Each structure stands twice: as C-alpha cells, then as structure tokens.
Amino acid sequence: MGPDDEQCAVALDDQGVEQDAMLDQWDAALYRERAEVWRQRAVMLSESEIRTSCIILAAEYSKLAGLVEAEAQRILPAREA
C-alpha cells in the first residue's frame, strides 16, 4: 500500500481489475504530506535504487504541490471577477 491509499478512490479498469483512481480534487497540502512520507522512507533506507526512487518521488510530489498552488492562484482571481 502507498502512503495515502486510504485517500484514493478505487476504480475498475477495462478488464474489471481494481486500480487507484485520481482524487476528485487537487490538494497541494496532500501532495506535500506525501512528499514528506517519501522523504522519511528514504532516510530509513541505505543507498540503493529504492532510496533514490523515494527521493525522486518526494521531489516530484513537492513540485506537484507547487504547481497546484500556482494554478490555484492563477484561477482564483478569474473566478472572483
């Protein structure tokens, strides 16, 4: 299970196999939390491909959080107008 599996919806693919579905909302705070979980996992591991992957995941979740926040800032003024 991933760090936040309980927050993901379950969907069926075209063969009827359960797959994690995208969340209905983009939540920068959630992505920052996921980044921290992956950072913590990386700290516990010795140098390996898995540790490197954890670090990459943490960085990408942080990046995604920043992009979500930037997009929210961009569209909020348009909605309020």
% of the chain at pLDDT higher than 90: 54
For residues 34-63, give the mean pLDDT.
97
d(CA 23, CA 39): 22
Q: Where are the domains of the chain?
A: 25-80
| Structure-token match 């209905």, residue found | 24
Rounded to the nearest integer, the mean pLDDT of the chain is: 79
How high is the pLDDT of residue 22?
53
Q: Which residues contact 39 (CB under 8 A, 6 or more apart)?
A: 54, 55, 58
How high is the pLDDT of residue 25?
74
